[in-house]
Chains A and B, each alone.
Chain A
Amino acid sequence: MELAAIVGERGVRSDALARSAYESDGFMLQREAPSIVVLPRSTEEAAAAVKVLRREGLVVVPRGAGTGLTGGARPIAGGAVLGTARMKRILEINPDDRFARVEAGVVNVHLTAATCSHGLFYAPDPSSQTACTIGGNVGNNSGGPHCFKYGSTNRHVLGLTLVDSDGEITRVGGIEPDPDGIDLLGPLVGSEGMMGLVTEVTVKLEPSPERVETLLVMFESLDACCDAVSDMIAARLEPSAIEILDRLTIEAVEASVLRAGYPEHAEAVMLVEVEGGPHEVDAIATDIIELARARGAFEARRTADDEERKKLWAGRKGAFGAMGRIAPDLYVADVVVPRTRLREIVGVASRACAARGLKLSNVFHAGDGNLHPNISYDRRDADEVARVLAAGKEIMEACVAFGGSLTGEHGVGLEKQGEMCLVFGDDDLAAMSDLRAAFDPHGFWNPGKLFPVRGCREIEARPLGSEAR
């Protein structure tokens, strides 16, 4: 087979069984298997494979580790999955100019592991960072707890290598912070695999802080915990991460191998990280705890011990998986509101789920106002699936009404296509579509994602006789 000659025997999977493992990413509500899976080992192999796939009339879905949560990394109706899992070489680490050049399939956490001996780290730290790839992070403009201080992936990408739909290899950006000409990295980072396959990424590295302390602050009410976050921001205290976990999440994590020592009697815990010089860290931590106590926090722990800190974070980052103890499937919503409205949106989510008999747990990057209302369900129950989708929609609508946005860090994918019309009109979407076509005039890359399937005017039109809400 021609493809096997390019990527090797192990790089092509076309039997039904193997393909079925690619029928979804972390978004399980709907599934669809590709007609072939191709796993190149290098940019050149990827480019050669693209030429063959294009000639054969297949469309292509780029995929990293398949940990995404919006269905972005699986096809909508056949086509090929082009995965970067075998492209995992770290090509260059330059500690003096503080950048690294990696292949797209390098696992997020492996990059930081490779740079820590230089006193450097890669800042974006999605919860799936022990598995997800840098290429996937670029596709979704991924975030993570520490993006509160450091910003999402787009703030860290200096350059990209892109394979386009003709199988041509293009390099965009470089190692300098401000490339010449129009900055094409802007549209490419977060383009959800719809403009080409990113095969190499040059990223900025950050110096490791002198001292890091992690605070675990416990509350008897989730509302009070939310309010404490607003207070912290208002008081201009700037930790590097502010996370909230609610009681159900705490229970699931504590029952798992990742048990972190979160108190099971708390209604909510706030996980805060403070970095800087020793005095600075001490002063900020003291202020934060004082402020939290004023909002009713009943206990606060501080630790600078690396092992303990790692455990506290591993618990947070395994929260999604830990919910497997509650039900077979989990819908992870990803919405943003202004931080002052955190407690209101938590109320909306609780009511939306309670009214539909659904089990809700909450984990959020509170510092960014980025919420993950997590709804447990069983995909075998079609009615429950419909109720989950309806609740998700209601939460998204409320976020937009509060002046927030549809997606914090997971992308749009399939999950939020329809809801794009809550924020954009047909003209806006047409402009975006034109931009995409400039990179991919053939609709070859990840078709059927991000944009609504039908026009917004059509989606918003109500059937004759139905009452306007």
Chain B
Amino acid sequence: MTEAAPHARPFPTDAASLVDHARSLDCIHCGLCLTTCPTYQLTGSETSSPRGRIHLMRAVAEEREEPTVEFAEEMDFCLVCRHCESVCPAGVEFGAMMEFTRGKLEETGTRGPLARLVRWIGFRRILPSRAGLKLAVGGLALAQRLGLTRLAPLVAGLRGEVTAALPPVPPRRERRPLPAVTPARGASRGRALVLEGCVMPELFGRVNHAEARLLAAAGFETMSVPKHVCCGALHAHNGELEQARELARSTIERFDAVDDSCPVVLDSAGCGAHMREYGRLLANDPAWAARAEAFGRRVVDMSEVLAAPESLERLASRLRETTSLRGPITWDAPCHLCHGQQVRSQPLALLDALPGVERVALEGAESCCGSAGIYSVLRPSDSLEVLEPKLEALRRSGARTLVTANPGCHQQWQVGVRRAGLDVEVVHLAEALDRALEG
């Protein structure tokens, strides 16, 4: 298992600072990050590259530049895929810097009243609330049944086109929550706590169920966490840091109430990358810093648990050839898995354990698909443009099943594949393995 990096370096507490100046000094301007950056790829503009953005942040902190509208736009344009962190020899914590700056920009309030209202509804009333999520997803399901989504492009332009291309909301039986306990198959190797998440149960409930079955098959007594909804990752990525801290504290409390020492296992890469870093998020809160750091160290991705030697051995003995998975398959690494958590080999090891399935490589599998949390909703045009070369690579690969491990990426690919008219099924790693799992 990958050892969690220490996140003890706190954010600055100086209220006036828009920027985490100390972190910006880590950058030595070598430029090795440039080609990894989706927005640099898109524009060729160094201003829209990691090095450029760090330069802008530092220039603002040192009062050589003003935090203008252009500054906020450049920060918003970033997908926070953190690909740059994977190649940075100086170890610049780019994601952390960006979260901090976005948080401060949010506080200083450059957005109009309508945008603020929409954000308030999304971040306060929908994401952290099961009822809110059910209402939103129920609304989408109804609109799909009535055929209203087909009209969306007329009223909402590109955003509407994306809405029209969304896959149908799954039937109710797929949206039921996990049982409190899924017993281990065979001798138990201990417990695992799983995060069901906010949108996952509503749109990808089948993935959570598949995950629980896989963990059980690998010998874990799998526990769900009642009443938990949201880990706060989307809040943090979008500058809602206060709300993110609240959600982190309540997440830790609810999980610890079920079990305060076993691994916390995730099937959503974005949430995993964020929860591993709870220590940094709460580093300035003396009552919570140590507990958050310790909690973060318990967070692992599903693939890390399942690819560990004993798990893989048990799983492999239960995997059968299946007709429900069309080969060849290919793996597209979610950014917050490979860059955010440095988990790379485990998903491949698992896919290669599938009997009789050919796996082909996807060119640029570690570059961003453009989903980036709610980026695809906020900036649909940029988001689809980032996806474009990936769709081309998918076409070239000849794969008929694309495997990912994050709900945002999952949905982005579904929309992209549909719009491009490709005959490719998009599945989560847990689904792919679960389909081959004997009953």
In the assembled complex, the CB of B370 is this many whole angstroms from the nearest CB of chain A, namely: 17
**Cβ-based interface call for B31 (8 A):** yes
| Chain A contacts for B29, CB-based, 8 A | 24-26, 28, 329
Q: Which of B64-72, B266-274, B412-420, B423-431 contacts A (4 or more CB under 8 A)?
A: B64-72
CB of B65 to closest CB in A, whole Å: 6
A373 interface hit (Cβ, 8 Å): no
Quick check: is B316 within 8 A (CB to CB) of the other chain?
no
Given known contacts A17-B71, A256-B89, A322-B89, is B34 in contact with A328 (CB within 8 Å)? no
Residues of A within 8 A of B47 (CB): 13, 17-18, 21-22, 37
Contact in complex: A257, B88 (CB < 8 Å): yes
Task: Decide if A321 is an interface residue (CB 8 Å cutoff).
Answer: yes
Interface size on B, residues (CB 8 A): 39
Q: Could you tell me if B27 and A324 are in contact, using CB atoms closer than 8 angstroms?
A: yes
Q: Is the CB of B89 within 8 A of A318?
A: yes
Q: Which of B33, B46, B65 has the most CB of A within 10 A?
A: B46
Which one of A13, A22, A257 lies within 8 Å of B91 (CB-CB)? A257
Please give me the residue from chain A that is nearest to B42 by CB atom.
A10
Known: A253-B89, A257-B91. A328 touches B44 (CB 8 A): no
Interface flags, A1-39, vs B, CB<8A=1, else 0: 000000000110101111011101110100000000101
- Contact B31–A15 (Cβ < 8 Å): no
Q: Contacting B31 at CB < 8 Å: which of A128, A258, A330?
A: A128
For B17-55 the 0/1 string (1 means CB < 8 A from A) is: 000000001111111111100001011111101011001
Contact of A17 among B26, B30, B43, B68 (CB under 8 A): B68
Q: Number of A interface residues, CB 8 Å?
A: 47
**Once the chains bind, are A107 and B35 in contact (CB under 8 Å)?**
yes
CB <8 Å contact, B27 and A39:
no
Question: When chains A and B are docked, how far (Å) is the Cα of A327 from the Cα of B71?
Answer: 26
Asked if A244 is at the interface (CB within 8 A of a chain B CB), the reply is no
Chain A residues within an 8 Å CB radius of B70: 15, 17-18
A255 touches B46 (CB 8 A): no
Q: Does B388 sit at the interface, judged by CB under 8 A?
A: no
Residues of B within 8 A of A28 (CB): 29
Q: Which of B30, B52, B68 is within 8 Å of A321, CB to CB? A: B30
In angstroms, how far is the closest chain B Cβ from the Cβ of A83? 7
Q: Is the CB of A324 within 8 A of B89?
A: yes
**Is the CB of B92 closer than 8 A to any CB of chain A?**
yes
Q: Which of B27, B28, B43, B66 has the most CB of A within 10 A?
A: B28
Chain B positions within 8 Å of A256 at CB level: 88-91
Q: Are A20 and B55 in contact (CB under 8 A)?
A: yes
Would A66 and B31 count as touching, CB distance under 8 A?
Answer: yes
A131 within 8 A of B: yes
| Contact A20 to B59, CB < 8 A, known contacts A130-B35, A257-B87, A321-B88 | yes
Judged by a CB distance under 8 angstroms, whether B351 is at the interface is: no
Q: Are A10 and B89 in contact (CB under 8 A)?
A: no
Least Cβ–Cβ distance between A350 and chain B, in angstroms:
22
In the complex, the answer to whether B32 meets A318 with C-beta atoms within 8 Å is yes
- Of all chain A residues, the one with the shortest Cβ separation from B58 is A328
Cβ contacts B77-103/A at 8 Å (1 or 0 each): 000000001111111100000000000
Q: Which residue of B lies closest to A132 (CB)?
A: B31
Nearest residue, chain A, Cβ from B24: A328
Are A325's CB and B90's CB within 8 A?
yes
Of B43, B56, B87, B90, the residue contacting A20 (CB under 8 A) is B56
A38-90 residues with Cβ-Cβ distance < 8 A to B are 39, 65-67, 83, 85-86, 88
A–B pairs, 7, beta carbons within 8 Å? A21-B52, A65-B34, A67-B32, A110-B35, A128-B30, A257-B88, A325-B91
| A residues apposed to B, CB below 8 Å | 10-11, 13, 15-18, 20-22, 24-26, 28, 37, 39, 65-67, 83, 85-86, 88, 105, 107, 110, 128, 130-132, 252-253, 255-258, 318-325, 328-330
Identify the 5 closest CB pairs spanning chains A and B, nearest first. A324-B90, A321-B89, A85-B44, A318-B89, A324-B28
Chain B positions within 8 Å of A, measured between CB atoms, are: 25-35, 40, 42-47, 49, 51-52, 55-56, 59, 64-66, 68, 70-71, 74, 85-92
- Taking A37-B47, A320-B89 as known contacts, 13 extra A-B pairs with beta carbons closer than 8 A to each other, sorted by chain A number, are A18-B45, A21-B46, A21-B52, A26-B31, A39-B44, A66-B46, A67-B31, A110-B35, A131-B33, A256-B88, A321-B30, A323-B28, A324-B27
